Structure 1
Amino acid sequence: MDRPKPCDLVLTLSLSRGRYGVRFAQDPAEVLAAQSLRHRAFFSRTGQSNASALDVDAFDSTARHVIIFDLASADLVACYRVQFLEGAEIAQAYSAQFYDLTALADFPGILMELGRFCLHPEHHDPDILRLAWAAMAHLVDQAGVSLLFGCSSFLGADPLRHAAAIGHLSARIAPPDRLARAKTADRVALNAFAGMGTAAEAMAGTPALLRTYLGMGAWVSDHAVVDRTMDTVHVLTGVEIAKIPPARAKALRQIVTDCLGYNNTVSAMH
């Protein structure tokens, strides 16, 4: 019997920790809630956000939307979306708009692209991030994912604002057989910033999500893309699941176990 295509994988997601639960969005209204939170998170700092605005693109129709919410009020506190791909399907990834991903087309197994990760600007409980990572780890194990990848973004479209962090990433460039090639003209080479700033400045300037990926052994593209629409600079980031340090993999799976231990009766979104 032929195995199902990645997009047809039957996956379950129902975890909780403390005040919060996480699962897939179950209907169009919940996807709209995620799109509303995304717009607020991504555009409020640029003065473009308003209460009724949405962040929407063509990939929303093919992705699975992960929502993290307050169990008591059902208010959304974080979200992201994932796509499951295989082989040549890599050309359908969101990241393929900005990077030539041909080198990843022969990566064996199922690939999971994670994107549009955002937190509600008024919610800072560390359980939210723990639950987000628990959901990622749970999906990776459940789907048998071999590569987790996506665009890791720095807020602000001026590369010089992120020079120290970008320069230090030049030590984590992907091996030649996995290297994403340039596709857009609005880009900067990581090596152009090598040696700028201290290690402490680089760490402070690296987004939390990217720091976690790097702790899992991630590699990055050799250039950063300037995305003026989103007002970000981003690098393609890949985590080969089989190469995650054993201690880090164990810690991630322990988070999943901890979240499974909570009451997983989650209320519907309002």
Structure 2
Amino acid sequence: MRLQTGALVARLADGPEDIARAQELRHLCFRAARGLDRIGGREADGFDDLCQHVLIEDASGRLLGGFRAMILPAHQIAGSYSAQFYDLTPISTQPGPMMELGRFCTHPEASDPDVLRLALASITRLVEGAGVTLMFGCSSFAGADPARHAEALAHLGRHHLAPAGQGPGRRGVACITLPNLAADPRRALAALPPLLRSYLTLGGWVSDHAVIDPDLDTLHVFTAVEVARIPPARARALRALVSAAAGLGQNS
């Protein structure tokens, strides 16, 4: 897979050196840039070997963003990263392959909106290539203090909860119920992570609780997008994004 928008290129990692670069960017974004660790190092775990890694680079080859994706059948969803924090049994009977997305990050100095657009195009290409029926993952808020995200979490709880019977259950980890309070819609939407906002425009839904991750000083909600329920206009826009990016790059 190779997609291009402007001066940016998205491609799959090609070997250990590329994966190491992705892990270094993750360390910078998730730990060093937020004062949790020194500059330099890698953020890695045992799921890296099970995933495809997408790199987004500029014309000089500088890594500006990326994410990882694990494609698996529904009955193996208990082996996903998200299953450490959420009981995914309600989702495990759905048909078709699923794709877990995670470790999405952009370089602190990257401000080009095409990074996110190219990421969405890459996700769409992976979905279409594998016939994925559901995308899922953990959408993270910077800062583990729930009070800091109260309005955004309340908005999610009022407008974007999982359909009845499909939401994940709780694991034995630190979690909170999404607050029930009045929230200003504009402030709440502005406080959502950009990628989560994009998922919601695709008809995505979230869990009824959030999980606190003190190690990375984040708070996250389980997020899922059912491919068949993506609004037609959004689906067409994503396909057009892929077509434009593929037309500039080389398909593989």
Same fold? TM cut 0.5: yes
Shift of 1:51: 3.8
> Is 1:160 paired with 2:150?
no
Read off the aligned partner of 1:179 and give its amino acid letter: G
Q: Which of 229, 232, 237 pairs up with 2:218?
A: 232
Alignment of 1:44-193 (within 5 A): 44-71=32-59, 73-170=60-157, 171-190=159-178, 193=179
Q: Which of 16, 23, 31 pairs up with 1:43?
A: 31
Shift of 1:265: 8.9
Task: Specify the SS of the correspondent of 2:95.
Answer: coil
Shift of 1:209: 0.5
- Write the distance in 1 (CA, Å) between the matches of 2:209 and 2:160: 11
Note the alpha carbon deviations across 1:65-94, whole angstroms, 9 max, x for none: 1111113x2111101000011122100110
Q: Which of 180, 184, 197 pairs up with 2:183?
A: 197
- Write the distance in 2 (CA, Å) between the matches of 1:178 and 1:265: 36
- Write the distance in 2 (CA, Å) between the matches of 1:23 and 1:263: 10
**Corresponding residue for residue 3 of structure 2:** 15
Distance 1:46 1:127, change over 3 A: closer
**Corresponding residue for residue 238 of structure 2:** 252
Distance 1:263 1:146, change over 3 A: closer
Note the alpha carbon deviations across 1:135-164, whole angstroms, 9 max, x for none: 001111111000010001110000100000
Read off the aligned partner of 2:122 and give its amino acid letter: A
**Corresponding residue for residue 3 of structure 1:** none
- Write the distance in 2 (CA, Å) between the matches of 1:115 and 1:229: 17
**Corresponding residue for residue 4 of structure 1:** none
Task: Specify the SS of the correspondent of 1:209.
Answer: helix
Task: Specify the SS of the correspondent of 2:181.
Answer: coil
- Write the distance in 2 (CA, Å) between the matches of 1:240 and 1:263: 28
Q: Which of 229, 238, 242 pairs up with 1:243?
A: 229
Read off the aligned partner of 1:225 and give its amino acid letter: V
**Corresponding residue for residue 264 of structure 1:** 250
Task: Specify the SS of the correspondent of 1:137.
Answer: helix
- Write the distance in 1 (CA, Å) between the matches of 2:112 and 2:37: 23
Note the alpha carbon deviations across 1:37-88, whole angstroms, 9 max, x for none: 00101112431343431001110111111111113x2111101000011122
- Write the distance in 2 (CA, Å) between the matches of 1:225 and 1:194: 17
CA contact (8 A) 2:32 2:40 kept: no
CA contact (8 A) 2:204 2:226 kept: yes
After TM superposition, which residue ranges in structure 1, 4 or more long, deviate above 6 angstroms?
A: none
Shift of 1:123: 1.1
**Corresponding residue for residue 213 of structure 1:** 199
Distance 1:126 1:159, change over 3 A: same
- Write the distance in 2 (CA, Å) between the matches of 1:95 and 1:18: 34
What is the aligned residue count?
A: 251
Task: Specify the SS of the correspondent of 1:222.
Answer: strand
Percent of pairs identical after alignment?
Answer: 46
Read off the aligned partner of 2:80 and give its amino acid letter: A
